[in-house]
């Protein structure tokens, strides 16, 4: 592996000059520059990033904190992949690498410290945190890292932190208003876990839309799920058991909505005739499952891109956006309403 000194020796120049050829080419004479570049190509010299990072304290790496080590083996973020693709593309375009950090393995370590330590050891220039929906507070400690930090779907505080999320309140309002416009006035909801930020916001949006329309909400019509299909199935069964049963349901996630749809079918009922149904997320299946799930769509790619932009803006010295950045959500009307 050829080093900068080796290259300098072969060119008969100092290492400083070689370094300048690659970092501030304009200060070195045309002649030497060409000579150095030619020789570099010949011997296959490439600067060593670890050494650069050590010297400059800039790594061109953005850390990704994303805890896959989860009790649910099949745990899936509904559209992590879209976010990741967008995030990586945007970062790559600026020459930034994305380092998916393994939590620090040291024994006897407070779990909330594991990621923080990994972040600090690697001199990453910034951090993106993707929430699991996990209640593990590990990631929250990252607000303490003195590094630009953007969290997705997770509220986080700290002087160098900001958050990005879809407009969950607005989306839930859209969904609820849509049901109201369809003439429903007995609307139930299946929620996500109470401690999950998007879940809480969606519930809030639901409530506010009902309020605004002067529709009273029976608290027994609010039933908790966990964003997974089975919980939607169970929740819908609970709702169907009520007498009279609600005529419309807002499920705070599409997977739960699909579970609810199944419960409906199992009970010999149909959407939208017997019960109208709106979901949230617009996962791929929503469009494909009959009769087509009416839902709220999020700008999946936009979230990843916004995360990259937030990081890069902080990298260039800007202060973090104080509040959470919210991306617009829109209603997609399909067959269930």
We find the least distance from the C-beta atom of residue 334 to DNA, in angstroms, to be 54
> Choosing among a copy of itself, DNA, none, which partner's interface includes residue 13 (Cβ < 5 to 8 Å by kind)?
DNA
Using CB under 7 A, which of 39, 45, 133, 307 touches DNA? 45
Phi-psi region of 317 (alpha: psi -120 to 50; beta: other; left: phi over 0): left
Q: Alpha-carbon dihedral of residues 284, 290, 294, 299, nearest 10 degrees?
A: 10
> Choosing among a copy of itself, DNA, none, which partner's interface includes residue 99 (Cβ < 5 to 8 Å by kind)?
a copy of itself
List the interface residues with a copy of itself, window 118-177 (CB under 8 A): 118, 120-123
Q: Which is nearer to DNA, 24 or 68 (CB)?
A: 24
What string of DSSP letters covers 147-192?
Answer: S-EEEESS---STTEEEEEE-HHHHHHHHHHHHHHTT---EEEEE-
- x/- letters, 56..95, toward a copy of itself (CB under 8 A): ---x-x--x-x-xx---x-xxx--xxx-xx--xx-xxxxx
Q: Coil, strand, or helix at residue 211?
A: helix
Using CB under 8 A, which of 24, 105, 273, 322 touches a copy of itself? 105
Contact 135, 112 (CB under 8 A): no
> Choosing among a copy of itself, DNA, none, which partner's interface includes residue 147 (Cβ < 5 to 8 Å by kind)?
none
27 binds DNA (CB under 7 A): yes
List the interface residues with DNA, window 48-67 (CB under 7 A): 48, 51-52, 54-56
What does residue 24 show for φ and ψ, rounded to 5 degrees? -135, 70
**How many residues are given for the chain?**
337
Contact 337, 294 (CB under 8 A): yes
Contact 130, 115 (CB under 8 A): no
120 binds DNA (CB under 7 A): no
308 binds a copy of itself (CB under 8 A): no
Choices 115-123, 160-168, 170-178, 203-211; region in contact with a copy of itself by CB under 8 A: 115-123
CA distances (Å), origin 88, targets 8, 75, 295, 301: 35, 22, 27, 11
We find the least distance from the C-beta atom of residue 48 to DNA, in angstroms, to be 4
Distance from C-alpha of 115 to C-alpha of 136, rounded to nearest angstrom: 12
- x/- letters, 3..22, toward DNA (CB under 7 A): xxx------xxxxxxxxx-x
Q: Which residues bind DNA (CB under 7 A)?
A: 1, 3-5, 12-20, 22-23, 27-33, 45-48, 51-52, 54-56
């Amino acid at each position: 592996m050829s080093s900068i000194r080796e290259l300098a020796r072969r060119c008969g120049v100092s290492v400083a000059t070689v370094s300048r050829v690659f970092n501030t080419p304009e200060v070195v004479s045309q002649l030497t520059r060409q000579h150095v570049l030619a020789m570099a190509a010949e011997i296959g010299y490439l600067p060593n990033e670890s050494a650069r990072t050590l010297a400059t304290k800039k790594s061109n790496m953005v850390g990704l904190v994303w805890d896959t080590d989860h009790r649910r083996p099949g745990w899936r973020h509904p559209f992590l992949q879209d976010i990741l693709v967008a995030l990586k593309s945007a970062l790559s375009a600026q020459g930034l690498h994305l380092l998916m950090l393994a939590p620090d393995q040291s024994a006897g370590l407070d779990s909330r410290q594991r990621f923080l330590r990994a972040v600090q050891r690697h001199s990453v220039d910034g951090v993106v945190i993707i929430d699991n929906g996990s209640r593990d507070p590990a990631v929250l400690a990252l607000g303490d890292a003195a590094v630009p930090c953007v969290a997705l779907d997770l509220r986080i505080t700290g002087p160098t932190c900001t958050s990005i999320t879809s407009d969950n309140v607005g989306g839930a309002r859209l969904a609820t208003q849509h049901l109201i416009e369809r003439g429903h006035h007995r609307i139930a909801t299946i929620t996500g876990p109470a401690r999950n930020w998007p879940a809480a916001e969606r519930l809030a949006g639901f409530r506010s839309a009902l309020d605004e329309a002067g529709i009273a909400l029976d608290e027994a019509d609010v039933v908790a799920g966990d964003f997974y299909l089975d919980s939607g199935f169970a929740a819908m069964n609970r709702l169907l058991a009520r007498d009279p049963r609600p005529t419309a349901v807002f499920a705070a996630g599409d997977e739960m909505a699909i579970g609810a749809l199944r419960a409906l079918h199992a009970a010999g009922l149909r959407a939208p005739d017997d019960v109208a149904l709106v979901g949230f997320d617009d996962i791929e299946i929503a469009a494909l499952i009959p009769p087509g799930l009416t839902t709220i769509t999020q700008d999946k790619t936009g979230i990843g891109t916004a995360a990259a932009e937030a990081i890069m803006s902080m990298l260039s010295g800007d202060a973090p956006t104080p509040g959470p950045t919210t991306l617009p959500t829109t209603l997609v009307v399909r067959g269930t309403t």
